[in-house]
Amino acid sequence: MTKMLEPMMTEIQQEAITTRRILERIPGDKLSWRPHPKSMSLGQLALHIATIPGNVSRLAQQEEFDAPANFDFPVPDNAKDILATLDASIKAAEEYLGGVSESAVMGNWRLTSKGKEVFTIPRVGLLRSIMLNHWYHHRGQLSVYLRLLDVPVPVIYGRSADENPFA
């Protein structure tokens, strides 16, 4: 592993624990629930969160990705599948980060849509902004879904209205 990715590896491992804690709260009988017709269902959002590290690791191994106009988010069969998917996704991310060279991680990665460039960034930027920041964004979104379903929201970075590790 390149020295520059060691902090990212540590962050992924720490954040995987928090992500698992949230995904464990997913009520299996509410996977099709959505807060709004334009929103992903609870199951789709949870599965998307579970797949982000692995999917982005696979994207990062390419030189570019031509994004579809609309992403079709799959629905999990059950809540246990979400956790198994998270485990496989984290493993894929760790394997990629553990083996990628510094020159590859500093190389450019390109996002296109219908062949037209959307942006080009260093691969390490893809890992930071899409693998990690995008992951955290959707995890926060999921915590709102849980609140709307009256499911206790676990601790993420300190206390929640339902849990206080300092008490």
Is 164 inside a domain boundary?
A: no
Is 131 inside a domain boundary?
A: yes
Is 165 inside a domain boundary?
A: no
Is 64 inside a domain boundary?
A: yes
Is 161 inside a domain boundary?
A: no
Query: pLDDT of 82-103, one tens digit each?
Result: 999 999 999 999 999 999 999 9
- We report the CATH number of the domain holding residue 132 as 1.20.120.450
> CB-based burial of residue 65 (10 Å sphere; 0-12 exposed, 13-18 middle, 19+ buried)?
middle
Is 20 inside a domain boundary?
A: yes
- Residue-number span of the structural domain to which 104 is assigned: 3-148
Is 91 inside a domain boundary?
A: yes
Question: How many separate domains does the chain show?
Answer: 1
Query: pLDDT of 110-137, one tens digit each?
Result: 999 999 999 999 999 999 999 999 999 9
Question: Alpha helices, DSSP H only, in 5-133?
Answer: 6-23, 42-60, 79-99, 102-106, 123-126
